[in-house]
Every structure is written in structure tokens, then in C-alpha cells.
Amino acid sequence: MLRRNTRNLAEGVWQAHDPPFVRPLGTRAPERRLSQGASLAVILMLSLGLWVAIWEALSRVAALL
């Protein structure tokens, strides 16, 4: 059985004076995005891989029948 630290019950509890978990918009790093061509290439490769997996599964099922 796990024991809790009874010396400080509020330890780990969020308090109103704690800093926020997210940074304000001004201090965030700019988003790094792929170019449109790179995004298209990634989507194309993923969809081709999905089709290969589907056809492979269908061919294995057909071979069992």
C-alpha cells in the first residue's frame, strides 16, 4: 500500500498564485511548418503505405480461402 506524505497535504496541489502552465503568445517560439510540397509528399507516402497494407491484408485473406 502506498503511503502519502502527511507533513504537507497541499504539496503538488495547484494554487491560485502559481504561474500558468502555458506561456503567453508573445513569448512562444514561432511555429515551424512544412512547405506545401513537403506536406503533400508526406501525405502521399502515408496514403501509399496504407494502401499497401490494405492490399497485403486482402491478399493474405484471399490466400486463406
- Backbone torsions φ then ψ of 27, nearest 5 degrees: -100, -5
55 within a domain of the structure (yes/no):
yes
- Count how many domains the chain has: 1
20 within a domain of the structure (yes/no):
no
22 within a domain of the structure (yes/no):
no
11 within a domain of the structure (yes/no):
no
60 within a domain of the structure (yes/no):
yes
CA distances 30 to 20, 25, 27, 40, Å, are 20, 10, 9, 22
12 within a domain of the structure (yes/no):
no
51 within a domain of the structure (yes/no):
yes
Q: pLDDT tens for residues 4-55?
A: 445 555 555 656 666 666 666 666 667 778 899 999 999 999 999 999 999 9
pLDDT confidence of 2, banded at 50, 70, 90? Answer: very low
The reported pLDDT for the residue numbered 7 is: 55
44 within a domain of the structure (yes/no):
yes
Determine the structural domain holding residue 44 and report its residue range. Answer: 36-64
